Amino acid sequence: MKNDRSKAAWALAIHGGAGDLGADGLPAERERAVRAALGEILGAAARILAEGGTSLDAVGEAVRLLEDSPLFNAGKGSVFNARGEHELDASIMDGATLSAGAVAGLTRVKNPIVLARRVMAASPHVFLAGEGALEFAKAERVALVEPEYFSTEDRRRALERARADAARSAPTEPETVGAVALDVDGHLAAATSTGGLTNKLPGRVSDSAIIGAGTYASDASCAVSCTGQGEFFIRGTAARDVAALLEYAGADLRSAAESVLRERVEARGGRGGLIALDRIGRIVCPFDTDAMYRAYTAAGDEAVVAIGRGEPDGNDESIRRRRGG
Ligand code: ASP
């Protein structure tokens, strides 16, 4: 199996959210910590693919590790809603079968992405929310924590700032995490997880929980994970639109991803970014905020970790080289 010539080259991209950094930019210490975490988590998920593991396992593990890091707004380190509580959302999609799992409004599940995958694999449904999702988590023996587990001082200060501004939906720091992967069997997968937006209304559901909005994968086209003001990504069916442009209009990945961000999100007043990966391992990471925490790699390529504008946002060059033109 290992030397099977028909095997595709694997590829992987992760994000830790798009957002603005404020006039002073990211403090140097935080920037170092974010870059180190992105690099480590990319490496751990890349090993799964390099050893012949599935794209679903790779995106699930990348997002689980991002959730466990307090640096990112998902799992531990999630933002607070207007009531000073956490409500977590996540979704995952298998491009080979179009199977999907999603969860919303979780308050006690340590790793929402693990539960989303159980919903996909072990229930007849796609989407579970609130109380019923908690019951299902208990039945599936998914790890639970007390709600305070998710809280960090940084996020508490962000809530205080947001309350002072009465700003409910403007992105501040980069939010949300996600991953897209292509495995050696040519299968694509995508996963996204978030604590949502600081000061959101209780019960608000993000695009990150919605298949076709914040997450989409199909072996027919590409895998996509979005970040930004979720309401705009939901209305714009952003993730699915990127795939649809490839499937129906024959667009290339970069122009599809950039035009969805421009026409379906920005043109209506929304901001954010996305990572997308197609069947040949092309990766693009467009965003219209100050920054998007991102990292990517592919079989035979160096890992790239980037934060700001002016840093790499895709592997077009190496794909061109690999394809001999
Ligand atoms: N999309 C997420 C949400 O709307 C937040 C983000 O990615 O910044 O909750």
pLDDT in tens, the chain (325 residues): 444 555 679 999 999 999 988 778 889 999 999 999 999 999 999 999 999 999 999 999 999 999 999 999 999 999 999 999 999 999 999 999 999 999 999 999 999 999 999 999 999 999 999 999 999 999 999 999 999 999 999 899 989 988 887 654 444 677 799 999 999 999 999 999 999 999 999 999 999 999 999 999 999 999 999 999 999 999 999 999 999 999 999 999 999 999 999 999 999 999 999 999 999 999 999 999 999 999 999 999 999 999 999 999 999 999 998 887 6
Query: Ligand 1 atom 7: the closest Cα is on which residue?
Result: 227
Cα dihedral 257, 280, 49, 36, rounded to 10, equals: -40
Q: In 3D, which of 306, 300, 295, 296 has the Cα closest to residue 321?
A: 300
Query: 104 CB under 6 A from ligand 1?
Result: no
Ligand 1 nearest-atom number relative to CA 17: 7
Q: In 3D, which of 67, 76, 64 has the Cα closest to residue 147?
A: 76
One-character DSSP codes across 32-52: HHHHHHHHHHHHHHHHHHHTT
- At residue 167, the pLDDT reads 52
Return d(Cα 22, Cα 189) in angstroms, integer. 33
Give the residue carrying structure tokens 């992405």: 113
Query: 230 CB under 6 A from ligand 1?
Result: yes
Query: 270 CB under 6 A from ligand 1?
Result: no
Give the residue carrying structure tokens 């209506």: 268
Respond yes or no: is residue 176 known to be catalytic.
yes
Query: 206 CB under 6 A from ligand 1?
Result: yes
Q: Are strands 127-129 and 283-284 parallel, antiparallel or unpaired?
A: unpaired
Residue 277's beta-bridge partner residues? 223, 283
What are the structure tokens assigned to 197, written together?
């937006």
176 Cα–ligand 1 center, Å: 6
Query: 175 CB under 6 A from ligand 1?
Result: yes
50 Cα–ligand 1 center, Å: 30
188 Cα–ligand 1 center, Å: 23
Q: Which of 176, 194, 237, 297 is catalytic?
A: 176
- At residue 1, the pLDDT reads 44
Reported pTM: 0.95
Query: 174 CB under 6 A from ligand 1?
Result: no
Query: Ligand 1 atom 9: the closest Cα is on which residue?
Result: 196
Ligand 1 nearest-atom number relative to CA 200: 9
Query: Ligand 1 atom 4: the closest Cα is on which residue?
Result: 230
6 Cα–ligand 1 center, Å: 38
317 Cα–ligand 1 center, Å: 30
User: b/e for 58-95, b at 16 or more Cβ within 10 A?
Assistant: bbbbbbbbbbbbbbbbbbbbbbbbeeeebbbbbbbbbb
257-270 pLDDT, tens digit each: 999 999 999 999 99
Return d(Cα 222, Cα 277) in angstroms, integer. 5
Query: 192 CB under 6 A from ligand 1?
Result: no
SS3 139: helix
Query: 87 CB under 6 A from ligand 1?
Result: no
- At residue 169, the pLDDT reads 46
293 Cα–ligand 1 center, Å: 13
Query: 55 CB under 6 A from ligand 1?
Result: no
Q: In 3D, which of 48, 7, 21 has the Cα closest to residue 191?
A: 48
What are the structure tokens assigned to 28, written together?
């140097």
248 Cα–ligand 1 center, Å: 28
Q: For residue 33, which amino acid is it?
A: A
Q: In 3D, which of 179, 214, 176, 233 has the Cα closest to residue 16?
A: 176
Query: Ligand 1 atom 6: the closest Cα is on which residue?
Result: 228
Sheet order of strands, 177-182 included:
127-129, 99-106, 88-94, 188-194, 177-182, 11-19, 291-298, 304-308
Sheet order of strands, 222-228 included:
215-217, 222-228, 272-278, 283-284
Phi, psi of 239 (to 5 degrees): -65, -45
Give the residue carrying structure tokens 């700001």: 308
